[in-house]
Amino acid sequence: MKPLKEERMKEEEIEESRTSEKVAPSGGIVIKINTKTALALVIVLVIAGALFFFKDLFVVAIVDGKPVTRIDVVRELEKRSGKQALDAMIIKRLVNAEMNKKNITASDEEVSAEIKNIEAQMAARGGTLQQILDQQGMSQEDLREQVGDQKRVEKFFADKLAVSDEEVAKYMKDNSITVPEGKDPKELSGQIKDQLKQQKLSTEVDAWIAGLKSAANIRYLKTY
């Protein structure tokens, strides 16, 4: 068994080997920095730098010197519309899974054409598509995703969305609709067909989604 004094000398030698030395510019002072201390300082500096450069990921506003964090915002949003948001996310996942199974897609050209059609409709009403997006807090990317989803759903139910001239005539009769003076009857008929098509689509989609949710294995870990 080694003497206690010899053991302590060994420990000091090991500690000395782990110590970095720096000589000040004056040449007279030697600063010794323990390796563990240096590592701790580096970690602190890295964390401080990350917090500075990514501060908007944690703090979104400062009111009278007090921070408002992203977690605060998320909690408030969950209180107000957590159930609706979660339900929309679940439906989107179920729908996308079904579309992928059947390999139903919407091309960029189809999405762009539909957006141009929407822009034309907005212009005819004296507005712009960008105004609508701003009001709803949506970006162009959000719109393209939404339109793409819509086009895929329409393809999925394409064989159930046909609207006959008889259905148009019945709708006009039931709702006492006549062709305004100076308006092309075909244009009015086309508008009514689009409206009836959307009604059919909505009915089909509601029933389909209800069936998907009923058949899916969904476990709610939080109740809103």
Q: Which helix (H) or strand (E) holds 173?
A: helix 165-174
pLDDT of residue 184: 86
pLDDT of residue 21: 46
Q: What is the largest CA-CA distance in the chain?
A: 114
Q: Which residues pair with 31 in a beta bridge?
A: 22
pLDDT in tens, the chain (224 residues): 545 445 555 555 545 444 444 444 555 555 555 666 666 666 766 655 555 555 555 778 889 888 888 888 888 888 888 999 999 999 999 999 999 999 999 999 999 999 999 999 889 888 899 998 998 889 999 999 999 999 999 999 999 999 999 999 999 999 998 888 888 888 889 889 999 999 999 999 999 999 999 999 999 998 88
- The rounded distance, in Å, linking the Cα atoms of 47 and 8 is 36
pLDDT of residue 106: 95
pLDDT of residue 222: 85
Q: SS3 for 112?
A: helix
Token pair 């539909």 is at which residue?
114
- The rounded distance, in Å, linking the Cα atoms of 149 and 199 is 17
Spatial CA neighbour of 216 closest among 84, 91, 85: 91
pLDDT of residue 30: 52
